[in-house]
Structure 1
Amino acid sequence: MPDTLPMELASLCEPTSIAMQAVNRSRPQAGEHALVLGCGPIGLLATLYLTSLGVHVVAADTVPERVAFARRFGAADTLHVDLEREFPTAGQPRCSTGTPAASVRRSSSRRPANPARSTARSASSPPPDASSPSAFPTGR
């Protein structure tokens, strides 16, 4: 690390690189939807990067404060997964997303993400070619 780089910024290099690698591997397109599971440092940085690419982000976490913080990083929708409630059964009412209502509290007035337009890729999808200019978008 250069001596001129403040330690506060230097400490963000590793989580930022992980978040960016995860986003780049999914090859998101503007207008798509993405679900970010976990609103810790890496999840928040992934949310920030995805929204800068024009992706509609739904961020989910078990900690209400983290869910609220995700909005400040650009999440269009958030889900608070409530672990205090009994595990949902097939007979319980469901949210509009198809998730059992007992397990999720949705905190947005917008429509839920469309799973058909998700940025999720198959686990067998090859990672982007590092030599390709589009593999690592810049200037956003």
Structure 2
Amino acid sequence: MLAIKYEKPWDVTCVNTEKPAPGQGEALIKVRSAGICGSDIGAFRGTNPLVTYPRIIGHEIAGEIISIPENKKGLKAGDHVIVDPYMYCGACYPCSLGRTNCCEDLKVLGVHVDGGMSEYFTHPADMLWKLPDDMPWELAPIAEPLTIALHGIHRGRLKKGEHVAIIGAGPIGILAAMGALAYGAEPIMIDLVEERLEEARRLGVRYTIQSGKEDVAAKTAGYTDGRMAELVMECSGANAAIQMSLDIAANAGRITFTGWPKNETPLMTGTITKKEVDILGARTSANEFEEAIELIHTGKVDAGKILTKVISLQEAPEAIRDIEKNPGNYMKVNVVM
């Protein structure tokens, strides 16, 4: 079969490799679509210290079941599914709480173990989620990054009518804004790049702030009648943005950190105490797949609007190289087979 493989940083090829055979409790899947994620670009650059090489990439994976053992979800051969890529042990303390995304021995597809950007893939049968038969393959992989955005929303306890300031208008930030709109909240999108803010406005976001040119705190105050944002979602991982989140959070507000900074960030703990803000980590996702699938399938989140390009598997290496060179030209690229 064909697969997209990193031999080492900066070395991506479409290779011929052995078709996998399912082990105990695993399903064999004919992969029909796969998303190229920002983390795949980080792995290409060699800037993600968690990635080991050589590695078949891909964690946004949808396909058709070829074979599957009996499992509690009632899935069968021929069903369309999306893969939960966060493999957990089920025995540690966070797993016992249902917070499997915080597993002490978490393995992520395409990072710690081989992913599924390939023609066939095997995966634990109980970590598959059924897709509607009429969901377009080019949209299906977007359910995975949407789960990450939803996890940040849920960790931050966002309510209808509240303002959520979202820092970083990349795919996760844009999907968080679309999710907030679907649930009746008011997103405020913050980014350095005007083109990304234009994209947010095109998708229905009324309030935007270009952080390199505008006073973010003053604009946030103006949008919220002085209250500031009840929830701040930091989706960029930039140290300055993490610090900014305290300035724009409301008194008694919440902050969720979804972005992963490369370096430690000093924070004004006096502001945390004065405002009594809740600061929460938001790592990947846990139990949001059904919700994400429903939001996309019903059109409550119009996932097609963030899809920049659809490519073949053989075109993926060149696409990865170009996304790395010209990230501003792309929002989401999906491979369809």
Question: Could you say which TM-score interval applies, normalised by the shorter chain?
Answer: 0.5 to 0.7
RMSD (Å), alpha carbons: 3.2
- Residue by residue over 1:21-75, the C-alpha shift from the partner in whole angstroms, topping out at 9 and shown as x without a partner, is 1111111111111101111111110000101111111101111110011112222
Aligned to 2:148: 18
Question: 5 Å matches for 1:79-98?
Answer: 79-82=209-212, 97-98=217-218
Letter in 2 for 1:79: I
* In the alignment, structure 1 residue 55 sits paired with structure 2 residue 185: yes
Q: Give the match for residue 78 of structure 1.
A: 208
TM-score (norm 2): 0.29
State which structure, 1 or 2, has the greater radius of gyration over its C-alpha atoms: 2
Tell whether 2:63 aligns with 1:2: yes
Shift in Å, 1:6: 4.5
Number of the residue aligned with 1:42: 172
Shift in CA distance, 76/2, structure 1 to aligned 2, threshold 3 Å: same
Per the alignment, in what secondary structure is the counterpart of residue 179 of structure 2?
helix
Which residue does the alignment assign to 2:227? 115
Q: Which moved more, 1:69-78 or 1:14-23?
A: 69-78
Q: Secondary structure at the match of 2:176?
A: helix
Where do 5+ consecutive residues of structure 1 fail to align? Answer: 86-93, 99-105
Q: Retained in 1: the 8 A contact 2:165–2:229?
A: no
Read off the aligned partner of 2:230 and give its amino acid letter: S
Contact 1:57 1:74 in 2 (8 A): no
Assess if the C-alpha contact under 8 Å between 1:97 and 1:112 holds in 2: no
Distance (whole Å) between structure 1 residues aligned to residue 63 and residue 148 of structure 2: 21
Cα distance change, pair 79–18 in 1 and its aligned pair in 2 (3 A): same
> What TM-score do you get using the length of structure 1 for normalisation?
0.63
Query: 1:69-88, CA deviations, whole angstroms, 9 ceiling, x for partnerless residues?
Result: 11122222001122xx7xxx
Q: 2:172 and 2:228 mapped to 1: Cα distance? A: 25
Gaps in structure 2 of 5+ consecutive residues:
1-61, 65-132, 232-252, 255-277, 301-337
* Higher relative contact order, structure no. (Cα contacts within 8 Å, ≥ 6 residues apart): 1
Q: Does 1:69 align with 2:199?
A: yes
**Quick one: percent identity of the two aligned structures?**
29
